[in-house]
A = this chain, B = another copy of it.
Amino acid sequence: MVAIAHLCWMTINTNSIRALTFRVGINTLLDEKITMIIILKPEATEADANEILEKIASLGLKPLYMPGIERTVLGALGDERILRQLHLDSYPMVDEVKPVLSPYKLVSRELQAHDSIVPIADTNIGGGKFTVIAGPCSVESEQQLLGISEMIKAHGIALLRGGAFKPRTSPYSFQGLGEAGLKLLKMAKKQYGLGIVSEIIDPNDADLMYDYIDCYQIGARNMQNFRLLEAVGKTDKPVLLKRGMSATLEELLLAAEYIINSGNSQVILCERGIRTFETATRNTLDLNAVAYLKEKSHLPVFVDPSHGTGVKSLINPLSRAAVAVGADGIIVETHLNPKEALSDGHQALTADDFAQLMADIKPFVAAAGKTLC
């Protein structure tokens, strides 16, 4: 293949070789995918381009040469795994390397065109249903958790959220009840038949939690805790994966790719607000993300309007918007007595608030042609 690169350069001066060169070139073009476009700096010489073309060729990939007056552009074609070993951005004369294919595969609609349905306990997430997961930020006590469970059950809610292990910004804040909290969650499950969603913050806890919960939640701060992604990826329980507070959508999809690549394809993506300059709300809920993720990925997409706004009065309108934009469900924080909540009380819905929320989203779920469950 080194010969090709060399020939490419010779074509500059020798008309007779041109046709040959590009006869080879066109085979390349037609038989292989292009995966990288490499743009050289204006001052790059022929020798610089040649060095890179030879490197590409040396790995058995197909080089492509596209010279221009101001800039030269190169292409590399072939197996993506080999292309990744090229590290062409390390060459001093390379200005930019642009991969043409998306970096994620398993989560992509290109791999699977139809929507994935992910079951949590007895509830199927996705596929024409709009699901509400509700519960307290933290599990605090039996009385608290059973009270909330009863309340949400009365609204037909099938899935209870509640944190036993809490990632808190300050070491002095309430850190969760730990296994005692998990036991309370199991009690709520038994008593009210609710499926349990709870956050995992340490790979070591995957086994412990397995018997207590129906769905692992990965929080925003741990979206790129890759060991944690692999740990839940090795289980057979569904995972609700929240977007990191400054994670791009590509990074979120790659985090999901980690889980699926570890063996567990039951992933639900969750938009929970991103960090921006705006301070009027706790986060900026990015509903563009929901529509984008539904387009690019076959995985179900949830919205967390509690963290996404951080303002109780905004949860209701943003939940309606989540329905309308095409989300498969919402996860909201509720508390029978927010004033006594040990965390996030300001954004917790009371029983009355929750009843109002359920009433308000109903017509929008119908408008979306979905069923509420």
Binding site for B on A (CB under 8 A): 11-12, 18-23, 25-26, 29-35, 37, 39, 42, 55, 64-71, 73, 75, 77, 81, 84-85, 87, 89-92, 94, 98, 100-101, 103-104, 110, 167-173, 201-204, 221-222, 224-227, 245-246, 248-251, 254, 257-258, 261-262, 273-281, 284-292, 294-295, 308-309, 311-314, 317-318, 320-326, 335, 338-343, 345-346, 348, 363-364, 366-368
Contacts and interface: CB of A to CB of B under 8 A. Distances in A.
Nearest to A337: B90
Nearest to A256: B171
Contacts of A322: 321
A19 B341 CA distance: 36
Contacts of A262: 171
A1 to B, nearest CB: 17
Number of copies: 4
Contact of A286 (B25, B77, B201, B284): B284
B278 A274 contact: yes
Given A245-B246, A320-B368, 11 more contacts: A55-B339, A81-B172, A87-B338, A89-B346, A169-B224, A250-B280, A277-B277, A280-B292, A284-B284, A321-B321, A323-B324
A284 B280 contact: no
Contact of A204 (B204, B246, B342, B345): B204
Given A12-B30, A90-B346, A274-B278, A225 B222 contact: yes
Nearest to A229: B171
A90 B171 contact: no
Nearest to A261: B171
A363 to B, nearest CB: 4
B292 A288 contact: no
A345 B90 contact: yes
13 contacts: A11-B26, A29-B65, A39-B100, A87-B340, A87-B341, A201-B226, A287-B287, A287-B321, A291-B318, A295-B313, A321-B325, A323-B324, A324-B325
Q: Which 5 pairs from chain A and chain B are nearest by CB?
A: A90-B345, A246-B246, A22-B22, A89-B346, A324-B324
Contact of A91 (B23, B30, B339): B339
A204 B201 contact: no
A168 B261 CA distance: 14
